[in-house]
């Protein structure tokens, strides 16, 4: 059962067992067909596993939506040294809280997914880079890893197959940017989390200089089921381009916020009004962010008829990202919330690239001034121009992410800004 609320429309694949303390344990996971996927993978062989994942159409659940099987196929088939798997458990995108739940209720699901993935890409070592603030999830995972080793599921002879896969739970130290895959690798190496330029790509030169694949927690949690049931099974939900189920994190102004596992393509308004129990009493929908703070804000009109899969949200001018749906009702001060998001990006910017380092704090200061009633209409065109210069010009996309809410909110909620601008500072007023 998903946690904390359930809804009949949910399809519980990854979230089966949430809310049941026993699910954490090895026995509890085995009772849910746990580690059958791993056993099957070891029989199939690495390349067959990759083909199965490819055929499922699973796309990376960390926000980029890159086809997972394809990503795995970039790894060298012939080994000339160590390969690594990194599980990106550095969930820090505002509005996202699915990976934490996956780790604290079903840690073995993640471990099994890591083992299967590591087997498929010929990795010797799987690092679970778990965000530093997730002390409880870290400890639960750590305990589960101990259980796995004790049961011969991880370590030098996985299930007697002769394959050796080590698992390490690496606890981070507080940096959103380490959720970016190349910054994650830098951080794992014990350095400042600065994103790397690509090329070279991680499958060629990754962590510690070796071929590496980085996958999100939710992606890896889907793997045991896909391997166990087959790729076609996964396609029973969703669409051709966006198959499978997705954990939707709904937060903000809804009666029942939480994680809901639903088929890809679930209608957004159904999610908000039905599954989440609708808006608070007497409130109407104003805006929705469909995929975490980094994607453009959608108006209520744009949400109407929007299907929550990758192509559906793009069609409406935004992105699905990690499917963190932040709902805002008509009491929301859009400018304040955009300013808060930009503050977040300014705080988390690594500082390498000039447009991001200078731009995020510049945007933040202008927005603060507007929020305080000391803005001008010229400021709005400046913000749009800065946002444009911050998009597509940096090593990683944090800069783009900071610009997205600013640009989209000025374009779609201009009146909210104008309401805060004193009359004398508005264009066209004598």
Tokens in use for 81? 């040294």
Q: Which of 14, 50, 120, 175 binds other proteins (CB under 8 A)?
A: 175
Shortest distance, position 419 Cβ to other proteins, whole Å: 19
156 binds other proteins (CB under 8 A): no
- Order of strands across the sheet that contains 245-252: 258-263, 245-252, 324-329, 285-289, 298-299
Bridge-partner residues for 59, per DSSP?
67
CB of 262 to other proteins, least distance (A): 15
Residue 256 interacts with other proteins (CB under 8 A)? yes
The CA distance from 214 to 50, in Å, is 15
Q: Of 29-37, 52-60, 233-241, 351-359, which part binds other proteins (CB under 8 A)?
A: 351-359
Give the contact letters, 352-371, x = binds to other proteins (CB under 8 A), - = no.
xxxx-xxxxxx--xx--x--
CA distance 161 to 165: 11
Cβ closer to other proteins: 36 or 376? Answer: 376
DSSP secondary structure letter of residue 375: -
Residue with smaller CB distance to other proteins, 59 or 131: 131
User: Which of these ranges, 37-45, 64-72, 134-142, 422-430, lies near other proteins under the rule CB under 8 A?
Assistant: 134-142
The CA distance from 220 to 22, in Å, is: 21
By beta-carbon proximity to other proteins, the closer residue of 50 and 194 is 194
Indicate the residue among 307 and 327 with the shorter CB distance to other proteins.
Answer: 327
Residue pointed to by tokens 């990006």? 345
Distances (CA, A) of 73 to 48, 95, 163, 213, 406: 11, 31, 19, 10, 37
Widest CA span of the chain, in angstroms?
A: 82
Radius of gyration of the chain from Cα atoms? 22
108 binds other proteins (CB under 8 A): no
How many of the chain's residues bind other proteins (CB under 8 A)?
A: 104
Q: Which is nearer to other proteins, 243 or 359 (CB)?
A: 359
CB under 8 A: which stretch of 36-44, 46-54, 99-107, 225-233 binds other proteins? 99-107
Cis peptide before 4 (omega within 30 of 0): yes
Binding mask 400-429 for other proteins (x = CB under 8 A): ------------------------------
Q: Report how far Cα 320 is from the mean position of its chain's Cα atoms.
A: 10
Beta-carbon neighbour count of residue 208 at 10 Å? 13
| Residue tagged 């007023």 (tokens) | 429
Per-residue interface string for the shown chain with other proteins, residues 277-316, x marking contact by CB under 8 A: ------------x---x-----------------------
Q: Which of residues 22-51 bind other proteins (CB under 8 A)?
A: 24-25
In angstroms, give the least distance from the CB of 392 to other proteins.
Answer: 5
**Cα distance between residue 135 and residue 205, in whole Å:** 30
Of residues 72, 29, 93, 59, the one with CA closest to residue 222: 59
Q: Does the protein bind other proteins through residue 173 (CB under 8 A)?
A: yes
Residue partners of 406: CB distance under 8 A and separation at least 6 = 338, 342, 363, 367, 383, 384, 386, 387
The interface with other proteins within residues 190-209 (CB under 8 A) comprises 190-193, 197, 208
- Among 52, 88, 92, 182, contact with other proteins (rule: CB under 8 A): 92
- What whole-number distance in Å separates Cα of residue 182 and Cα of residue 207? 8
Paired strand residues for 118: none
- Interface mask toward other proteins for 207-236; x: CB under 8 A: -x----------------------------
**For residue 294, what are its two tokens?**
């980094």
Residue 165 · residue 119 · CB < 8 Å: yes
Shortest Cβ distance from residue 151 to other proteins (Å)? 12
Q: Judge contact between 344 and 338, C-beta under 8 A.
A: no
Q: Which stretch binds other proteins (CB under 8 A): 220-228, 237-245, 250-258, 304-312?
A: 250-258
Q: Which is nearer to other proteins, 13 or 346 (CB)?
A: 346
Using CB under 8 A, pick the residue from 294, 337, 408, 409 that binds other proteins: 337
With binding defined as CB under 8 A, does residue 242 bind other proteins? no
Q: Is 98 within 8 Å of 218 (Cβ atoms)?
A: yes
Selected from 3, 32, 163, 425, the binder of other proteins by CB under 8 A is: 3
Interface residue with other proteins, options 73, 109, 251, 294 (CB under 8 A): 251
């Amino acid at each position: 059962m998903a946690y904390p609320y359930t809804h009949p429309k949910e399809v519980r694949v990854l979230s089966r067992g949430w809310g049941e303390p026993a699910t954490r344990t090895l026995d509890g996971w085995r009772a849910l067909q746990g580690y059958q996927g791993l056993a099957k993978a070891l029989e199939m062989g690495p390349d067959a596993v990759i083909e199965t994942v490819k055929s499922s159409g699973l796309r990376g659940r960390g926000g980029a939506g890159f086809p997972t099987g394809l990503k795995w196929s970039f790894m060298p088939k012939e080994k000339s040294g160590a390969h690594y798997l990194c599980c990106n458990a550095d969930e820090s995108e505002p509005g996202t809280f699915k990976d934490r739940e996956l780790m604290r209720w079903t840690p073995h699901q993640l471990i099994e997914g890591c083992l299967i993935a590591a087997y498929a890409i010929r990795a010797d070592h799987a690092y679970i880079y778990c965000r530093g603030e997730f002390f409880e999830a870290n400890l639960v995972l750590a305990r589960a890893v101990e259980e796995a080793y004790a049961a011969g599921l991880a370590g030098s002879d996985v299930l007697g197959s002769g394959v050796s896969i080590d698992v390490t739970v690496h606890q981070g130290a507080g940096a959103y940017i380490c959720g970016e895959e190349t910054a994650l690798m830098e951080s794992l190496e014990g350095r400042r989390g600065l994103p790397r330029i690509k090329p070279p790509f991680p499958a060629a030169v990754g962590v510690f200089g070796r071929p590496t694949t980085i996958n999100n927690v939710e992606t890896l949690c889907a793997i045991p089921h896909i391997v166990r049931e087959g790729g076609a099974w996964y396609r029973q939900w969703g669409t051709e381009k966006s198959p499978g189920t997705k954990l939707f994190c709904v937060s903000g102004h809804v009666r029942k916020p939480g994680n809901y596992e639903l088929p890809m393509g679930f209608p957004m308004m159904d999610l908000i009004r039905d599954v989440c129990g609708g808006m608070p009493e007497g409130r109407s929908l104003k805006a929705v962010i469909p995929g975490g703070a980094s994607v453009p804000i959608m108006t209520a009109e744009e949400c109407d008829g929007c299907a929550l899969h990758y192509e559906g949200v793009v069609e409406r001018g935004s992105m699905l990202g990690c499917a963190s749906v932040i709902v805002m009702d008509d009491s929301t001060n859009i400018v304040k919330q955009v300013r808060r998001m930009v503050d977040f990006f300014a705080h988390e910017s690594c500082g390498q690239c000039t447009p991001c380092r200078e731009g995020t704090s510049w945007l933040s200061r202008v927005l603060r001034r507007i929020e305080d009633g000391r803005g001008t209409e010229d400021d709005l065109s400046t913000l749009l121009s800065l946002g444009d210069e911050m998009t597509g010009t940096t090593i990683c996309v944090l800069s783009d992410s900071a610009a997205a809410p600013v640009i989209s909110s000025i374009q779609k909620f201009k009146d909210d800004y104008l309401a805060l601008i004193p009359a004398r500072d508005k264009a066209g007023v004598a």
